Amino acid sequence: MTGLLERTTPLDAEPATIEKVAIVVSKGSLEGIYPALIMANGARMEGIEADLFFTFFGLDAIRPDRYAKIKVATVGNPGMHLATWLGGVPGFSALATRMMQRQMEKIDIPPIPEFIELVHDSGVHLYACRASVEMFGLTIEDFVPQVEAIISVGEFYEKAAGGQIVFT
């Protein structure tokens, strides 16, 4: 009889290593996009295979007509530690965005377009979500050239097989 608290692996067993990650980018704000880019970059630096799957407003990160307009989400963002009404003050989001961009520059985190190129050049695969692309009436021409394909969720799962899926 096996008890609920019985250990299934020996104490001296080597932990499994991560060999592959598939990161879903669903938010179109700085704090939604940068974590995914940083994680993909870190994965490649560790020799881990990485895919980025952009869906919904995360597509803004790979759209040349949109990525310059990406801002920090200030309204309803609990991480801002501000009253919701303050986040809605005109110009506040732009101010918070400029402040965050300056901080990122200080620690050599590149702007989104440059970061997209960097991770792609390191071997990260970039994909756009077919359902979101169709919903927004977009085509492959609307995206940066580093986007390899527009794929379905099922195709994303096939590519992610054997890896860890991370949702940002």
Q: Both tokens of residue 9?
A: 């692996």
CA 48 to chain centre: 16
27-41 residue pLDDT tens: 988 889 999 999 999
Strand intervals (E) in 13-146: 20-25, 49-54, 125-129
Model pTM score: 0.82
CATH number belonging to domain 21-72+111-167: 3.40.1260.10
Q: Where in the chain are the domains?
A: 21-72+111-167
- Reading phi first (left if > 0) and then psi (alpha if -120 to 50, else beta), residue 161 is in beta
**pLDDT (tens digit per residue) in 64-121:** 999 888 887 766 666 666 666 666 667 777 777 778 788 888 988 899 999 999 999 9
d(CA 50, CA 168): 14
